[in-house]
Structure 1
Amino acid sequence: MLIFAAQQPPKALQYKCATQRKLNKVIQMTTKNYNRLLVTAALPYANGPVHIGHLAGCYLPADIYVRYQRAQKRDVKFICGSDEHGVPITIRAMKEGITPQQVVDKYHALIKESFAQMGIAFDIFSRTSNPIHHETASAFFKKLYDDGLFEEKETEQFFDETTQTFLADRYIIGTCPVCGNPGAYGDQCEKCGTSLSPEQLINPRSTLSNAIPVKKKTKHWYFPLQNYEPWLKEWIIEGHKEWKNNVYGQCKSWLDNGLQPRAMTRDSNWGVKVPLPDAEGKVLYVWFDAPIGYISATKELTNEWSDYWCKDDTKLVHFIGKDNIVFHCIIFPAMLKAHGNFVLPDNVPANEFLNIEGEKVSTSRNWAVWVHEYVKDFPDQQDVLRYVLCANAPETKDNDFTWKDFQDRNNNELVAIFGNFVNRTFVLMHKLCNGKVPPLHKDILDEIDNSLIADIQTAKQKVEDNIEHYRFRDALFEVIDLSRKGNQYLQKKEPWKKANLLAEDPANQHHIDNCLHLALQLTANLSILINPFLPYTAAKMLHMMKVVPKMLEWENAGTLNLLRTGYALRAPELLFKKIEDETIAAQIEKLKNQSKPMQETTNETTAIEYKPLKPEITYDDFAKLDFRIGTITAAEKVAKADKLLQLTVDLGFETRTIVSGIAQHFTAESIVGKQVTVVANLAPRKMRGIDSNGMILMAEDSKGKLHFINAEDTTENGSEVR
């Protein structure tokens, strides 16, 4: 019997546990084929605070994964730090009228504190301005240079004549040629995630002066990515088909389009200086410099850093957001391959983006929920946010955070299911069993008891399989579902009713004992299973059970001897508290009040810029289209399709079924009765098993919001639009 109170278990049990641990380790190393794990989370730019989109994107999933691995007693190092050499740093410095160093000092401290408050348990949170990083990045570059791997080129780069500054990619904004976002950067569009070059932007301009940049000659060192294309195709396309679809697909798209040399230096005075005699005024490109920060941070953490970076039996996992996929899956691995002696990532589980209240996060507009402010507004409720962000994680597609969903998940899931089960169990134990763990009478276990025992024993494997495959949302569901089964078990057994019948039949006490013994063992199991997700909650549960943290080791999950018969437990404490409507209304109002209108931002255009026109057509091409007016008479969500509504449209002469991708902009109920323009002679198309016979026309504004385009005056259904 495993006892996790302050006293030590019997020697025979210690031997048994030690033997099992050795067996587990043998099984682990045989099946996983690694001896240590190195887990990294993307280095956040130290140019501002972190928001909940950052947490949901990579830091929370990484922390869950690492906490689970630690519970497995595996050798794991969790590495992160602030990226302090990016162009956003210098932009922030100019905005605030301070030096770049003052910027990174300010925000590094704020970011580090925010992560700590949310329980993101890095082994080290370093910074790329540290001397050890400059030394490591310089040595890495020099090794590639000495091996003759760089291509030295004199090219024309964009230059701001007003400020007399060469413009790094992030100093240039313009319209994205892919999605039409007018605030795309010269290296990437943060709206659609497409990697760009300044030459691809439409109407490019300098972020420093808003001037149109010109070209000026400068010398830089290029890394020949094209030379690594065959190896990357074999390594990724053939070797890592198990990667998430969004990661694998983006890598395949890049490789299919062909790789080109990429400059690994920039004209700037802020960053890691290029370690060559003829490179005055030049620094390493931030995407060459930043990922090396994982290596330098590990060096700072431990003298055995090379074991984690250079031994083949290390499993390296990068947790990132989808905007960093190309850099972590193509550029950085190619750099490591070129250098030699380094392990390559085993997996790069990237999440999609998290929107807020239906709109994309915009730090420039202040449309964000900032972590340091959340902690102030919701003291001691870090686990509520951790829960909501994991339960609604953008693992396969962009998801939306709303304060109403935050409230509902807290009240209806954490309070009403998980917290309710734990509280009921402790209240009943104190009321019916004198505050002590009752014995288990195996001879009278019934089908309901055995079903709960089976659920406890199988939950461990379900959670484990999901976490090992980076399905954290599904893993968390299994934990909550187990607590739901606990509530159902109590309702079926009704020990409070049996207590009223003790005078008539004292044997009922044995049934009460069994019910609460199993409920308490389930509570102990829940503390183990929930710990990677909600560590503060697990700690509260340990306190209530009066057990040591050692119980949270993963090997103990699924067992039924975690709490000793006769052991006195503390009085129940509420794990979660209900969140009222007034609190949520205040947060929504705060978000709206703090955000700036689009035209007031500095890195988004002050005037609407329109998408480029499509290729010219003739009148005959247009004449082939038949536009008709129709009225939506019915609408409903398409099952398992977040974006689709199934519409019934009356065209006057007939009624059509049309499937339209507008569900994220309109509810089904709100559009019944609306008149729409329909492309009536479009060939039918099957969507989600439904024959869609036509297409409705909508207008999309600069924010991506859809609008109906019919005039206010109603028109007869079937009328032709010319």
Structure 2
Amino acid sequence: MSTETGKIDTVANTEKTNTPTRYLITAALPYANGLKHIGHLAGAYLPADIYVRYLRAQKRDVVFVCGSDEHGTAIPIQAMKEGTTARAIIDKYHPIIKQNFDDLGISFDIYHRTSEPIHHETTQEFFTYLNDRNELEVIDSEQYYDEETKTFLADRFIKGTCPNCGFENAFGDQCEKCGTSLSPDMLINPVSTLSGKAPIKKPTKHWYLPLNKHEEWLREWILEQHKSDWRPTVVGQCKSWIDGGLQPRAVTRDLDWGIKVPLPDAEGKVLYVWFDAPIGYISATKQWAIDNNKDWKPYWYNEDTKLVHFIGKDNIVFHCIIFPVMLKLHGNIVPANVPANEFMNLEGDKMSTSRNWKLDMQDYIDDFIKKENGGSQMADVLRYYLNTISPETKDSEFTWKGFQDANNSELVSIFGNFVNRTFVLMHKLCGGKVPVLHTDIVDDADKKIVEDIQQTKAKVEGLLEQYKFREALFEVIDLARKGNKYMQDKEPWIVAKKLAENPDAQKSIDNTLHICLQLCGNLGIFINPFLPFTAKKMLHMMKLVDKVLEWSNAGSMKLLSVGYTLRAPELLFRKIEDDEVKAQITKLQEASKQKATAAPATEPVKETAPVKSEIVYDDFAKLDLRVGKIVTAEKVEKADKLLKLSVDLGFETRTIVSGIAMHFKPEDIVGKQVVVVINLAPRKMRGIESNGMILMAEDASGKLHFVNPEEQINAGAGVS
């Protein structure tokens, strides 16, 4: 904004420094063994897509690769369940998953397959390169063998009791209940999933990647170079692995499904899927380059390429320790960041395919996109809600009531409402054309909203560069909220009633709606990475071309030309009714019951929470726990679960937003002493900045209880 009174300028393009020449963005390859649920979408694919769309808007050279992981034991296991072949399974699920991603706006540059010849060739070349340079070790060892089926058992063909949480159906590579990475030897009472019998140990020869030789480099690279710019959960998990001492990891397996080991003395052996799958990023890049007449090598060999892996937390060890060692030995670049997300739960419980407690992408598409005219807008509603509850730093929860509230209270009532009011009033009061801006009567409110637009650009840009997608989206919605307030304060519909007595009133109307229309244009740019279908619809209404969505245009107050006729308003979002929510909850519960009746689940719906991964004392010591006293408590408007608390900590009184409204009445908890985590980073919830967390205990029925001192103690007292 100009310092000259009454003048509003276009924002200049911000100069970037240290910008990489190119970007290679990957999202974890999903197993093509079944439908994928919204937890998968929220964990890796949606955040990756938001980031890529932002980079494209910045006109940066970016390639976004993914594809189906079509090897590994998950495929033949599913084939056995469906009574068919592994090939038939991948040919069935690959196109479904690919279409699901497309329907939900995930904009891969290529969605490849690890069954393609180019991937087999690339993976075998990679193995040969390492083996010829003695970077692999050949080790004779005893491995589990099923005498009845005469088969060496890969990790997924072995089940047993998890040594970490006691779950009785943990696989030999990972416990799907507590998420702990395992090896078959760690299981208690292992059995073969093929015969149900206890396996024996039998000698076999395999090739190993000696991770132990690379501990020093990993420690320096992760724990020193990236300790401040990678997410703490990622660094913490890597530190735990490294501090525990890395061991050689087998890269081959005795299987008949997978990529054959390219050696004459390796008959009956294939490359282990964890070695094969991440190389899929490279083979996908190769195929993309072939399809687009490009050179793939700069994306994997040039140091000025920024490689970013988007994954879930169960893939951290593979993408932060194992694959980087492989890349380093092969002469490739290593990832600049691995923004891994935590897990997403569903209606109070962990998502589980075995118990049918899940929401598949396909089910959402069938119920909310295919059944509606213009259903792509409902794809954006899912994208919006998943991003607002994104498990960036801790596990989160999808609830249908939360989904409804996010749509009705935020997308409909804030964002959609502002755009719709602007267009309705523009057609009613300005003849359907973009009115002129009368600079001689620009006031402080006008300048303030323009300043808000420009500040939003800087905030959103900074947050997206740091992979803070949830906070970035909040800033966009908050700008629409400010737009609503600006319009409400200006009241152009009231001013219009004074036209007969004051012809200059039209100037005020023109200015208000000119600024609101330019704000709509900016909202289209800002919302595009998050809600691409909505951005397209806004462009259509404003008669703007796709090029307007380039980030350099953000902050401009000249996106819409004066005198230009715009299209009639269309509602961007519709309300979601109570009966739709009830139907989805009933559907979920009935599907889970049917699964339990057909084949009782081995894990109950409600269980004692598993013991979390081991931490060291230094991790615990980082928490600053204090005794606080609740001074005031009130419900947060339009948020059934939230209470706004004022908590006396002795040295200051803080505002804390806590999700306990379903368990306690505000008036019943005033005066209660509580234990508070006081050194959490502030977080905005429903527009309120929360500065701490109340510790609560949950009983078997799901009811919350206060964790507080038995006797009154001074506020601010430490807890240790």
2: CA distance, partners of 1:20 / 1:608: 55
Distance 1:434 1:355, change over 3 A: same
2:37 corresponds to 1:51: yes
Q: CA deviation at 1:611?
A: 11
Partner of 1:217, secondary structure, is strand
1:338-379 CA-to-partner distances (Å, cap 9, x unmatched) read 222x01100000000000101111112221111112111112
1: CA distance, partners of 2:514 / 2:402: 35
2:173 corresponds to 1:187: yes
Distance 1:434 1:427, change over 3 A: same
1:510-539 CA-to-partner distances (Å, cap 9, x unmatched) read 000000000000000000000000000000
2:188 corresponds to 1:205: no
Q: How does 1:249-288 map to 2 (within 5 A)?
A: 249-288=236-275
1:325 aligns with 316
Tell me the matched-pair count.
630
Q: How does 1:416-455 map to 2 (within 5 A)?
A: 416-455=413-452
1: CA distance, partners of 2:203 / 2:171: 21
1: CA distance, partners of 2:285 / 2:127: 18
Candidates 38, 41, 48, aligned match of 1:62: 48
1: CA distance, partners of 2:254 / 2:364: 39
2:546 corresponds to 1:549: yes
Conserved? CA contact 2:634–2:666, under 8 Å: no
1:503 aligns with 500
1:215 aligns with 201
Candidates 309, 325, 332, aligned match of 1:334: 325
CA RMSD of aligned residues (A): 3.2
Q: Output the amino acid matched with 2:253.
A: R
Partner of 1:50, secondary structure, is coil
Q: CA deviation at 1:668?
A: 2.9
2: CA distance, partners of 1:404 / 1:172: 39
1:390 aligns with 387
1:312 aligns with 303
1: CA distance, partners of 2:316 / 2:542: 44
2:342 corresponds to 1:356: no
2: CA distance, partners of 1:207 / 1:686: 46
1: CA distance, partners of 2:153 / 2:632: 51
1:299 aligns with 286
1:527 aligns with 524
Q: CA deviation at 1:211?
A: 2.0
Q: How does 1:570-719 map to 2 (within 5 A)?
A: 570-596=567-593, 604=602, 667-669=662-664, 687-688=676-677
2:334 aligns with 344
Conserved? CA contact 1:364–1:602, under 8 Å: no
Q: CA deviation at 1:278?
A: 1.1
Distance 1:274 1:546, change over 3 A: same
1:515-574 CA-to-partner distances (Å, cap 9, x unmatched) read 000000000000000000000000000000011100000000011010010000000000
2: CA distance, partners of 1:697 / 1:393: 23
2: CA distance, partners of 1:229 / 1:162: 40
2:70 corresponds to 1:79: no
2:366 corresponds to 1:366: no
Q: CA deviation at 1:304?
A: 0.8
Q: CA deviation at 1:688?
A: 2.8
Partner of 1:111, secondary structure, is helix
2:155 corresponds to 1:165: no
Q: Output the amino acid matched with 1:111.
A: I
1:14-40 CA-to-partner distances (Å, cap 9, x unmatched) read xxx9x988xx6xx43x322x2000000
What are the ranges of 5 or more consecutive residues in structure 2 without an aligned counterpart? 1-9, 370-374, 612-630, 646-657, 680-694, 706-720
Candidates 115, 118, 138, aligned match of 1:132: 118
1: CA distance, partners of 2:140 / 2:600: 32
Partner of 1:31, secondary structure, is coil
2: CA distance, partners of 1:595 / 1:75: 45
Q: Output the amino acid matched with 2:663.
A: A
1: CA distance, partners of 2:660 / 2:493: 49
1:150 aligns with 136
Q: Output the amino acid matched with 1:536.
A: F
1:236-286 CA-to-partner distances (Å, cap 9, x unmatched) read 001101100111110011111110011111110000011111111111010
Q: CA deviation at 1:149?
A: 1.6
Q: CA deviation at 1:689?
A: 6.1
Partner of 1:159, secondary structure, is strand
Partner of 2:190, secondary structure, is strand
Distance 1:609 1:541, change over 3 A: closer
Q: CA deviation at 1:219?
A: 1.1
1:12 aligns with none
Q: Output the amino acid matched with 2:677.
A: R
**TM value normalised by structure 1:** 0.82
**Rg larger in structure:** 1
Q: CA deviation at 1:208?
A: 2.2
Conserved? CA contact 1:319–1:349, under 8 Å: yes
1:657 aligns with none
Distance 1:664 1:506, change over 3 A: closer
2: CA distance, partners of 1:70 / 1:561: 22
Partner of 1:270, secondary structure, is coil
Q: CA deviation at 1:447?
A: 1.2
Partner of 2:410, secondary structure, is helix
Q: CA deviation at 1:599?
A: 8.2
1:720 aligns with none
1:658 aligns with none
Candidates 438, 453, 456, aligned match of 1:456: 453
1: CA distance, partners of 2:313 / 2:32: 19
Q: How does 1:223-242 map to 2 (within 5 A)?
A: 223-241=209-227, 242=229
Distance 1:547 1:672, change over 3 A: closer
Distance 1:637 1:190, change over 3 A: farther
Q: CA deviation at 1:186?
A: 1.1
Q: CA deviation at 1:229?
A: 0.5
Distance 1:160 1:281, change over 3 A: same
Q: How does 1:5-24 map to 2 (within 5 A)?
A: none
1:630 aligns with none
2: CA distance, partners of 1:196 / 1:599: 31
Candidates 503, 507, 514, aligned match of 1:517: 514
Conserved? CA contact 2:51–2:529, under 8 Å: yes
Q: CA deviation at 1:193?
A: 2.1
1:712 aligns with none
Partner of 2:583, secondary structure, is helix
Partner of 1:360, secondary structure, is coil
Conserved? CA contact 1:180–1:610, under 8 Å: no
2: CA distance, partners of 1:453 / 1:707: 47
Q: Output the amino acid matched with 1:286.
A: V
Candidates 69, 88, 105, aligned match of 1:119: 105
Distance 1:564 1:253, change over 3 A: same
2: CA distance, partners of 1:609 / 1:483: 42
Q: Output the amino acid matched with 1:378.
A: F
Q: Output the amino acid matched with 2:195.
A: S
Conserved? CA contact 1:364–1:601, under 8 Å: no
1:377 aligns with 367
Partner of 1:158, secondary structure, is strand
Partner of 1:345, secondary structure, is coil
Q: CA deviation at 1:392?
A: 0.8
Q: Output the amino acid matched with 2:354.
A: S
